[in-house]
Amino acid sequence: MSKLVLNPGKERSLLRRHPWVFAGSVARLDGRARPGDTVEVVAADGRFLGRAAWSPESQIRARMWSFAVDITIDHAFFKRRVAESVARRATHPLLADESGVRLIHGESDGLPGVIADRFGDVAVVQLTSAGAEKWRDAIVAGLVQATGCTAVYERSDSDVRGLEGLGPKTGCVHGELPQDVLTIVENGVCMEVDVISGHKTGFYLDQRDNRRLTGLFAAGRSVLNCFCYTGGFSLQALAGGATSVLSIDSSGPALDAGRRNLAMNPQLDASRAEWLQADVFEALRVLKSEGRRFDLIVLDPPKFAPSAAHADRASRAYKDINLFGLRLLNPGGILMTYSCSGGIGLELFQKIVAGAASDAGVDARILHRLSASADHPVGLAAPEGEYLKGLAIQVG
């Protein structure tokens, strides 16, 4: 096995169990390795640090599979890791009745570059790193064995694969997708899941708990849901007793899916729902000029900063939408605002929202710090900035 030798002092993050080795930490590779091959990572003095997947085209040169000296990285290793990840969700009390669950969450489950979601009898897998690509067959076999799913669909079409020198791959890798529309029930609301062409793996499972909280806040309130996608927050707000819900997205097909989702839930009052296709930045300005006000606003935009290099531009975009969101709130209103940008950590995000509140001239306090659902854990040493973060703000 080839050895990846680090520069002096660069072993410190690995000793704290951080799962990445950056290009600047690498002194040399002793031996030859192809993308995705397992390499032994050692400190400058030769100390064993762990075994990792080699990725020569990425700034993250290696992603750690294991820090233990007695662990072999083979087919059995991945089947075991997958089974452990699935078992963690199976015993989690908050996930007992959920038909849509994240089964594997990358580094947090010891499987860097591996995402797997379950929607009923269908599992959707996304492989974003050279190491995950190398072990595709073992990962899929582990999913089938651990879940009994009748179909596994691959959605390895994320842009980040390009950073690893990988092209997109999609399609069934086990079984066949059902002919009927795939649906799940979340917090009592039926939702359509498009695993072939929907965002990510077909549905944003990470926001389940926050959608439920939106429903709890929504009773008797007028609601504005920006970047609404297929209406997950909107339908939970209606289920919670919102007096009205305006949902805005730039995508016509996403809004059509939102309308279909609403139609699948006859218990919800469709007359309280309005759908608007528009650029959210422009729509917020128009709403302000029209004197519109809301009691609860949800801002769940797409990723503005995929890396720290985009943080400055993304910060301006986040401040812009939060500034207008805060200006559109009635006194006592609540803003639920989110970021999924890897280049924006929670501390910076909170500073951005605080700056927006100051510029909006409103008194605001944090009701809740919002995070991903229980099946999207963040490991103690995992890169937290990569995951969902959010704030529920109430204005005076």
Do 62 and 125 have their domain in common? no
Who's near 357: CB < 8 A, 6+ residues apart?
322, 326, 363, 364, 393, 395
pLDDT at 386: 64
* Residues acting as catalytic residues: 340
Q: Which H or E run includes 9?
A: none
pLDDT tens-digit map of 67-82 = 999 999 999 999 999 9
Q: What are phi and psi of 47, to 5 degrees?
A: -65, 135
Same domain, 269 and 331: yes
* pLDDT in the model for residue 260: 98
Residues 210, 340: Cα–Cα separation, whole Å: 14
Give a yes or no: residue 194 inside a domain: no
Question: What's the rounded Cα separation, in Å, for the pair 57 and 98?
Answer: 39
Residues 97, 126, single domain; the answer is yes
- Local confidence band at 345 (pLDDT 50, 70, 90 cut-offs): confident
The structure tokens listed for 204 are: 């944003």
Count how many domains the chain has: 3
Calculate what percentage of the chain has a pLDDT beyond 70: 98
Q: Tokens in use for 77?
A: 């290793």
Answer yes or no: is 199 within a domain.
no
Q: What average pLDDT does range 130-140 have in this prediction?
A: 98
Res. 255 pLDDT band, cuts 50 70 90: very high
Q: Are residues 223 and 327 located together in one domain of the fold?
A: yes
**Under 8 Å between Cβ of 262 and 268:** yes
Distance, CA of 230 to CA of 207 (rounded, Å): 13
Mean pLDDT across the chain = 95
Question: Would residue 363 count as lying in a domain?
Answer: yes
Distance CA 113, CA 19 (A): 11
**Does residue 382 surpass a pLDDT of 80?**
no
* Cα 117 to Cα 126: distance, rounded to the nearest angstrom: 9
How far apart are alpha carbons 281 and 278 in whole angstroms? 9
Inter-residue contact 352 to 385 (CB < 8 Å): no
231 and 316: one domain?
yes
Question: Mean pLDDT lowest for which of 68-72, 181-185, 294-298, 304-308?
Answer: 304-308
Question: Residue 340: helix, strand or coil by DSSP?
Answer: coil
- If asked whether residues 322 and 351 sit together in one domain, one would say yes
In a domain, 375, yes or no: yes
Domain of 53? Answer: 3-66
Strand partners, 183: 192
CATH number of the domain within which 118 lies:
3.30.750.80
| pLDDT(305) > 90 | no
Is residue 201 in some structural domain? no
Q: Which of 81-95, 318-332, 337-351 has the lowest mean pLDDT?
A: 337-351
* Residue 198 within any structural domain of the chain: no
Verify that 52 and 95 share a domain, yes or no: no
pLDDT in tens, 66-121: 999 999 999 999 999 999 999 999 999 999 889 999 999 999 999 999 999 999 99
Confidence of residue 314 (pLDDT cuts 50, 70, 90): confident
Within this chain, do residues 298 and 321 fall inside the same structural domain, yes or no? Answer: yes
